[in-house]
């Protein structure tokens, strides 16, 4: 089944490490939501007659939207596309936006999964990241959300300059103790032109230590495996039965449609992406035009994309899709213990996951 991603490009403030498309002013939020509702019918033919199994509100901070705004988007999506009655509908939410009233409202309009941007349970880390929430909100509002939603994932960041292995273990242990069914854990990445990049260049922050990041990633895999989580994708861990259906569709090469400024789409043979400019997006949509660019993928590009995404999963890259010639190319990684051949698939070992992108690129046709 296909997926639909909806980008809400607004945040209360800018996290120091973030390079996603967003605005910290809510001045044009109503106009943008109105434009997004107009884009939905304009994109009606993109997925063909394929059923939609997942809807994902990402950002930015979708939890800044009103219940009515989110409901209007869900209603328009269901009336335009063939959406499964049991579709997974995820809303990204920041802890400081979570209230009992909002949780009840989100359930009423069909949200059945929350992705909560915790990042850390330590106050000093949240201040360093310039997150909008504090440590008290991180734990208290997460506990509140668990009273209303079973299907919850949280984001955690490791490898920051000030994060010790002991603090990292406390973050992970807190999530385990709360029985969070799904965790997405990311190594801090210093993206160009972000505030963090400038802070490091100006020596206002220590640089990232790749060796410490690798160590904390290996510890993470050990701790969560012991706690009963499966690492079904390099950065994603879940209890059995609680995988993200939406994100899994990306890694499986399923079709997906992105709505909103900067949103990306893929239909199996081509990619398209909307302009990352709120005002231009609004103006174009109001004229009945979708401001996007397209890229048609060759068969080789499609195959390489499959290698890049599938190699990140626990099922690995299937030789039935790539052909057996990939075994010879991967021989050095199998011999060095970075990869294994199992069930006619190439699968990264724990040590291999540290080098996933480089290995995948080396296997490209």
Residues 102 and 211 occupy one common structural domain: yes
Mean pLDDT of the chain: 96
Whether residue 283 lies inside any domain: the answer is no
Residues 214 and 327 occupy one common structural domain: no
Strand arrangement, sheet containing 113-119? 230-233, 236-238, 182-187, 152-158, 113-119, 83-93, 52-59, 2-8, 256-259, 264-266, 270-274, 292-296
Give the count of domains, the chain: 2
Range of the domain at 144: 2-251
Whether residue 9 lies inside any domain: the answer is yes
Indicate the residue among 182, 216, 251 that finishes a domain.
251
Point out the least confidently predicted range of 91-95, 117-121, 133-137, 200-204. 200-204
Give mean pLDDT, residues 161-190: 97
pTM score of the predicted model: 0.96
Whether residue 287 lies inside any domain: the answer is no
The whole-number pLDDT of residue 23 equals 87
Indicate the residue among 209, 235, 251 that finishes a domain.
251
Residues 226 and 334 occupy one common structural domain: no
What whole-number distance in Å separates Cα of residue 88 and Cα of residue 108? 14
Q: What are 78's two structure tokens? A: 């269901």
Written as one string, the DSSP assignment of 163-195 is --HHHHHHHHHHHHHTT-SEEEEEE----TTSH
The whole-number pLDDT of residue 284 equals 98
Report CA 355 to chain centroid distance, whole Å: 20
Q: Is 355 exposed, middle or buried (0-12, 13-18, 19+ CB in 10 A)?
A: middle
Q: Is 335 exposed, middle or buried (0-12, 13-18, 19+ CB in 10 A)?
A: exposed
Whether residue 247 lies inside any domain: the answer is yes
pLDDT tens-place string over residues 202-256: 988 889 999 999 999 999 999 999 999 999 999 999 999 999 999 999 998 899 9
């Amino acid at each position: 089944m296909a997926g639909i991603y909806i980008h809400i490009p607004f945040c209360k403030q800018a996290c120091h490490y973030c390079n996603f498309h967003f605005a910290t002013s809510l001045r044009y939020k109503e106009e943008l939501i109105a434009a997004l509702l107009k884009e939905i019918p304009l994109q009606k033919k993109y997925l063909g007659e394929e059923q939609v199994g997942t809807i994902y509100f990402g950002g930015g901070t979708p939890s800044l939207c009103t219940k009515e705004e989110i409901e209007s988007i869900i209603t328009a999506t269901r009336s335009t596309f063939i959406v499964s009655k049991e579709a997974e509908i995820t809303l990204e939410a920041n802890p400081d936006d979570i209230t009992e009233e909002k949780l009840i409202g989100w359930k009423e309009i069909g949200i059945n999964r929350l992705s909560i941007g915790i990042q850390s349970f330590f106050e000093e880390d949240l201040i360093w990241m310039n997150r909008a929430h504090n440590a008290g909100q991180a734990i208290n509002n997460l506990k509140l959300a668990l009273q209303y939603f079973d299907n919850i994932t949280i984001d955690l960041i490791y490898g920051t300059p000030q994060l010790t292995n002991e603090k990292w273990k406390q973050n992970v242990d807190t999530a385990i103790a709360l029985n969070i069914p799904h965790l997405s854990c990311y190594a801090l990445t210093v993206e160009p032109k972000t505030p963090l990049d400038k802070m490091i260049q100006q020596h206002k922050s220590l640089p990232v230590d790749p060796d410490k990041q690798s160590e904390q990633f290996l510890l993470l895999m050990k701790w969560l495996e012991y706690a009963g989580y499966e690492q079904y994708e390099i950065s994603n861990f879940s209890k059995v039965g609680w995988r993200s259906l939406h994100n899994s569709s990306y890694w499986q090469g399923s079709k997906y449609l992105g709505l909103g400024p900067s949103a990306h789409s893929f239909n199996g043979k081509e990619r398209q992406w909307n302009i990352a400019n709120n005002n231009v997006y609004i103006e174009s949509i109001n004229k009945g035009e979708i401001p996007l660019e397209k890229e048609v993928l060759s068969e080789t590009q499609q195959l390489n994309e499959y290698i890049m995404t599938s190699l990140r999963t626990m099922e690995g890259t299937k030789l039935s899709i790539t052909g057996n010639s990939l075994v010879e190319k991967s021989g050095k990684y199998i011999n060095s213990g970075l990869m294994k051949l199992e069930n006619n698939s190439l699968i990264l070992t724990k040590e291999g996951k540290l080098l996933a992108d480089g290995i995948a690129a080396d296997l490209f046709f």
